[in-house]
């Protein structure tokens, strides 16, 4: 047990120190507008040179610093969370590999080295999703990796397409545009959409909740799902064509996820759908044309979402591993510290003034209002913000206050290790937004009429009222929303996307591949053509083997046959 504790503690301490140093370095690079392009030649053989290229600028360094700090807290938290697991050391090394893959992807200005980190994220996430070995985890892992393979293929095709250029370094072609670039950017957007689970690839993200909660915290805050957004931010200088279609898909993702979370009862899935909604928000403002604002929201979202998952993990632990929010209630009496952190992260998610999420979400809404898009874009943005508050209010009502649904299998305990991780992340969720806002943006003044300026607060208030309304039930405990069961079912099913992705899409392709393998790989063609030489040599060896083992009998048999022929 001592070895396991020391491994987790040392790993988290190392990541925390590295994260603070790299974040400080990134701030320094930002202030002095400094970029470092590093070529590391790791193999030189005759005239063949193999180099690994790294790009150190303010964006990559600040992001790596934030990823390391969040990862250190999650790994430290995992020491307590995974203490009873027999394979906790294996889990630690998988998480560490996951973080290193993300770092590789962030620091690469080259599509070849991006692919190493990108594929590393996909493969290690599969190993972590199937960590609890049961059929549900295997199904979720297969859905995750098959969807992510589409993005991997898009990256491979874009590597092939960049043979039309002079180099695989995308950094050379930012701001450069010709008719070749449309295909390259389309492939990059496809890769980003699969990794960040935008429509029509959204179904894998809630399914990936089969992983242990610390992994969910890491995946859904700063690593796997943000990789797609970060990749498109890096390529945003080449987005010189009409992006209305992908903007609509991002907005629909944001709206669909908010609607789905308002009717979901699984705690981790609600938070996963919340992540999906925020990813849609980042993608939308990115395609409107503000990549730095999207990056700012990516960082602030990472702080409070990691905290939200860690609080949810402790709640699930205390409820005998039940994730149903209908089993929870009155937890604020038994877990006061955890519930405080839970409320801080939830209010930051809602955009409560002067918490982390407020700075980025308010800026996104104001910039969207300033942009020349139509009323549909305007109303979907504001409705999605309202839905964020709706599912958050519903979550707080069910988990913390509503006290008639106590679950019998509970054991309330607040661990010092878990509480320490939550304190650090709470401070980041409170102060991170204002700090980054001062660093990244010069003081900007957006002047609006009063009704437009208070519009976000109006929709936040309406969303809170809707969240309470969705939680209300009659005297017999039947929810009012169940009276409109068809609407509730459709809204809470992610618009039937998981069904479409699994039963309707993958099953047919897997059946087709089964037919192909039966007719080609294990069919008569394989048997009679590919294996014919093998069959012939196998027959000869069997004959010789028989001859060697039965030589006396065989000689006598041949002798008798020859005499018989001679007599005839």
Q: What is the pLDDT along the chain (568 residues), one digit of tens a residue?
A: 444 457 888 889 999 999 999 999 999 999 998 999 888 888 888 878 888 889 999 999 999 999 999 999 999 998 888 888 888 888 889 999 999 999 999 998 888 889 988 999 889 989 988 988 888 888 888 888 888 898 999 999 999 988 888 788 887 777 776 777 888 889 999 999 999 888 888 888 888 888 888 888 888 887 888 899 999 998 888 887 778 889 999 999 999 999 989 888 888 889 999 999 999 999 999 999 899 999 999 999 999 999 999 999 888 888 877 888 888 877 888 888 889 999 999 999 998 888 988 999 988 998 898 888 888 999 999 999 999 999 999 888 888 876 656 666 677 778 888 888 899 999 999 998 899 999 888 777 788 889 888 888 899 889 989 888 888 776 666 777 777 778 888 887 888 877 777 776 667 777 788 888 877 777 776 767 777 777 778 888 887 777 777 677 777 777 888 888 888 7
- Name the nearest CA neighbour of 414 among 339, 325, 330: 339
CA 554 to chain centroid:
69
Tokens at 304, concatenated: 């409070």
- Name the nearest CA neighbour of 276 among 209, 231, 225, 224: 225
User: Could you tell me the end-to-end alpha-carbon distance of the chain, in angstroms, rounded to an integer?
Assistant: 87
Cβ atoms of 259 and 491 closer than 8 Å: yes
pLDDT score at 248: 92
Burial 365-390 (b: 16+ CB within 10 A, else e): bbbbbeeebeeebeebbbbbbbbbbb
Tokens at 140, concatenated: 């979720």
389 Cβ neighbours under 8 A, 6+ residues apart = 350, 351, 459, 460, 463, 464, 466, 467
**C-alpha to C-alpha distance for 230 and 68, rounded to whole angstroms:** 16
Tokens at 393, concatenated: 């209010």
Largest CA distance in the chain: 122
Length of the chain: 568
Cβ atoms of 268 and 209 closer than 8 Å: yes
List C-alpha distances in Å: 440 to 109, 226, 240, 323, 359: 21, 19, 24, 38, 12
The reported pTM is 0.86
Cβ atoms of 471 and 460 closer than 8 Å: no
**C-alpha to C-alpha distance for 201 and 150, rounded to whole angstroms:** 10
Cβ atoms of 246 and 183 closer than 8 Å: no
429 Cβ neighbours under 8 A, 6+ residues apart = 303, 304, 307, 344, 345, 348, 355, 356
pLDDT score at 476: 64
**C-alpha to C-alpha distance for 436 and 59, rounded to whole angstroms:** 12
Contacts 24+ apart (CB under 8 A), 558-564: none
Tokens at 129, concatenated: 């999703």
């Amino acid at each position: 047990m001592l070895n396991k504790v020391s491994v987790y503690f040392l790993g988290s301490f190392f990541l925390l120190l590295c994260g603070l140093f790299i974040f400080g370095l990134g701030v320094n690079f930002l202030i002095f507008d400094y970029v470092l392009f590093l070529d590391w030649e790791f193999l030189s053989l005759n005239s063949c040179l193999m180099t690994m290229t790294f790009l150190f600028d303010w964006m990559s360094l600040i992001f790596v610093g934030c990823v390391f700090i969040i990862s250190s807290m999650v790994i430290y938290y995992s020491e307590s969370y995974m203490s009873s697991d027999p394979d906790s050391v294996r889990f630690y090394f998988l998480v560490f590999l996951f973080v290193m893959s993300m770092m590789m992807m962030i620091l690469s200005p080259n599509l070849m080295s991006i692919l190493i980190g990108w594929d590393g994220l996909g493969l290690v996430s599969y190993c972590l999703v199937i960590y609890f070995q049961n059929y549900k985890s295997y199904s979720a892992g297969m859905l995750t990796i098959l969807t992510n393979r589409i993005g991997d293929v898009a990256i491979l095709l874009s590597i092939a397409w960049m043979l039309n250029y002079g180099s695989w370094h995308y950094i050379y072609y930012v701001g450069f545009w010709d008719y070749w670039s449309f295909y390259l950017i389309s492939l990059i957007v496809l890769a980003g959409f699969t990794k960040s689970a935008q429509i029509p690839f959204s179904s894998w993200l809630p399914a990936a909740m089969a992983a242990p909660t610390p992994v969910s915290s890491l995946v859904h805050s700063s690593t796997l799902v943000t990789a797609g957004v970060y990749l498109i931010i890096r390529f945003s200088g080449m987005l010189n064509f009409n992006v209305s279609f992908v903007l609509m898909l991002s907005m629909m993702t944001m709206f669909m996820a908010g609607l789905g979370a308002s009717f979901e009862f699984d705690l981790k899935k609600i938070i996963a759908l919340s992540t999906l909604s925020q990813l849609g928000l980042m993608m939308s403002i990115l395609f409107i044309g503000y990549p730095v604002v999207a990056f700012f929201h990516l960082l602030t979202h990472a702080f409070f979402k990691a905290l939200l998952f860690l609080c949810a993990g402790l709640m699930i632990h205390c409820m005998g591993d039940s994730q149903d929010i209908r089993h929870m209630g009155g937890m604020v009496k038994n877990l006061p510290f955890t519930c405080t952190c839970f409320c801080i992260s939830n209010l930051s998610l809602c955009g409560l003034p002067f918490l982390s999420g407020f700075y980025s979400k308010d800026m996104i809404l104001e910039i969207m209002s300033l942009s020349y898009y139509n009323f549909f874009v305007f109303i979907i943005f504001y409705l999605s913000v309202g839905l964020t508050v709706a599912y958050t209010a519903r979550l707080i009502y069910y988990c913390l206050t509503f006290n008639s649904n106590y679950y019998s299998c509970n054991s309330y305990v607040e661990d010092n290790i878990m509480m320490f991780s939550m304190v650090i992340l709470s401070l980041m969720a409170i102060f991170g937004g204002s700090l980054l806002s001062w660093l990244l943006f010069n003081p900007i003044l957006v002047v609006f009429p009063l009704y437009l300026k208070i519009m976000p607060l109006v929709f936040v208030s309406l969303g809170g009222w809707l969240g309470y309304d969705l939680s209300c039930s009659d005297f017999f405990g039947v929810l009012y929303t169940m009276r409109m069961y068809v609407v509730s079912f459709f809204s809470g099913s992610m618009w039937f996307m998981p069904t479409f992705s699994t039963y309707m899409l993958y099953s047919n392709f897997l059946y087709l591949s089964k037919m192909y393998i039966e007719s080609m790989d294990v069919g008569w063609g394989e048997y009679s053509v590919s294996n014919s030489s093998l069959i012939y040599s196998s027959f000869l060896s069997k004959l010789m083997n028989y001859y060697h083992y039965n030589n006396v009998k065989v000689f006598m048999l041949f002798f008798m046959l020859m005499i018989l022929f001679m007599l005839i």
